[in-house]
Amino acid sequence: MIETKNTEIVCSVCGNKSIQTVLAKSKPATGAPDLDIRPAGEPRHYLKYMVMECPHCGYCAPSLDRPFDDTREYLESEEYKTCGGIISANEAAAKLTKNALVFIKNHNYKDAVRGYLSAAWEFDDENNDRLAKECRKRAVQIMDEHPAAFKGDNNYKLLKADLLRRSGEFDRVIREYEGTAFPSQIMTAIAFFEVHLAASMDSAAHRADEVPGVSAAN
């Protein structure tokens, strides 16, 4: 049972107050995460509490008191209102994709990737394969367009292998990751496993403890 509480918060964009539901207590993950670091156990279902939406101006952020580098006009744009074209009835996914657009405007590209990844998880849960793939493609696109923001970060480099595989870009996984060595053995083993799955044209979710040589304790 997820414990939540209501909190009043002032929006940094429009200055209006709203009541938001947040996690009262978060529990530790139980078991191995997925290859894209989606946690196991109760935290798997925290997604809709990760982003707040201002009911007055539409601003979406992990907390509405966080600053927005762009203008309120952007929040009224067609792009923002339509979640960048990722339209669905899934309210949590809509908030997460809008928050990803906010992160892009804030030049916070890593959190933008995480935003699209979280939206993809929402679509995974409702078996909306098309939009789950689209979110993962947007995440990869951000990494491709802003390489400097991800340079030298092996966690994101490895995450990209899973984003590509799960969006069906098998050839690219093999091309970019076959024979790639990472600083840690576990990461190298995961990359090897991603290439193996891509070669089998497997776009399904897999857990980290399925990787040969990696146990849940890692």
Task: Summarize as ranges the residues that interact with Zn ion (CB under 5 A).
Answer: 11, 13-14, 54, 56-57, 59
- Pick between residue 36 and residue 53 the one whose CB is nearest to Zn ion: 53
- Pick between residue 11 and residue 102 the one whose CB is nearest to Zn ion: 11
- Pick between residue 54 and residue 102 the one whose CB is nearest to Zn ion: 54
Angle at alpha carbon of residue 30, lines to 205 and 181, rounded to 5°: 50
CA 187 to the chain's CA centroid:
19
Q: How far is the CB of 52 from Zn ion (least distance, A)?
A: 10
Q: How far is the CB of 7 from Zn ion (least distance, A)?
A: 15
3-state secondary structure of 27: coil
CA–CA distance, 170 with 194 (Å, rounded to integer): 9
Q: Which two tokens stand for residue 3?
A: 């414990």
- Pick between residue 102 and residue 143 the one whose CB is nearest to Zn ion: 102
Angle at alpha carbon of residue 188, lines to 182 and 193, rounded to 5°: 145
- Pick between residue 61 and residue 113 the one whose CB is nearest to Zn ion: 61
Q: Cβ–Cβ contacts within 10 Å for residue 152, how many?
A: 7
Angle at alpha carbon of residue 46, lines to 118 and 77, rounded to 5°: 45
Q: How far is the CB of 14 from Zn ion (least distance, A)?
A: 3
CA–CA distance, 169 with 150 (Å, rounded to integer): 20
Q: How far is the CB of 173 from Zn ion (least distance, A)?
A: 40
Q: How far is the CB of 60 from Zn ion (least distance, A)?
A: 10
